[in-house]
Homo-oligomer: A and B are copies of this chain.
Amino acid sequence: LLVNYEEGVSLGSAQVRLGLKYEMKEKRFTVFIMQLSNCSALALLADHSIYVRVAVLPCSETTRCLFRTRGVLPQEAVELNEVFGVQVAHHALRQKTLRVDICFTSKSGKEECLAGAQISLAEIGSTEERTTKWYNLLNYMYMPEMNMK
């Protein structure tokens, strides 16, 4: 875990670089999973391959809403460059949230997720242009903290 003692303890986050695009004519929402950085903040075991799981939620029953990238060995920075698309009307997409998680398959074969970003699509535009940003991945281990303070 990346810990850095300026001003109390400020903990680092792993990050994912995503591109998002909506095409009005094709009614198509596209998610580009580009890169991961600062993966040491995930506190992973070195021999576990990780992947990115992408979900467009709530899920419509008629459309696929869950995707997974290939697995990669965790390094400080990872290039993924995978693309997923969902067919959805713009007004329906604006009710949805994109959830992006870093997961691995445990020895028992179960999917376990370590950290994630959640991106509200309420204000997603329809400019046909890809907007690319870095997003912090909130480590699940920090979530229970919230109940203690």
- The stretch of A28-36, A43-51, A70-78, A136-144 that contacts the partner chain: A136-144
Chain A residues with a Cβ under 8 A of chain B: 6-13, 15, 53, 55, 57-66, 88-89, 92, 94-97, 99, 111, 116-123, 133-136, 138-139, 142-143, 145-147, 149
Q: A9-B61, A57-B145, A122-B133 are in contact. List 18 more A-B contacts (CB 8 A).
A: A6-B92, A7-B92, A8-B62, A8-B63, A9-B62, A10-B88, A11-B60, A13-B58, A15-B122, A55-B146, A57-B143, A57-B146, A66-B149, A97-B117, A97-B136, A99-B146, A120-B135, A122-B135
The interface residues of chain B lying within 8 Å CB-to-CB of A147 are: 111
When all copies of this chain in the complex are counted, the total is 2
Known: A64-B149, A66-B146, A89-B6. A138 touches B11 (CB 8 A): no
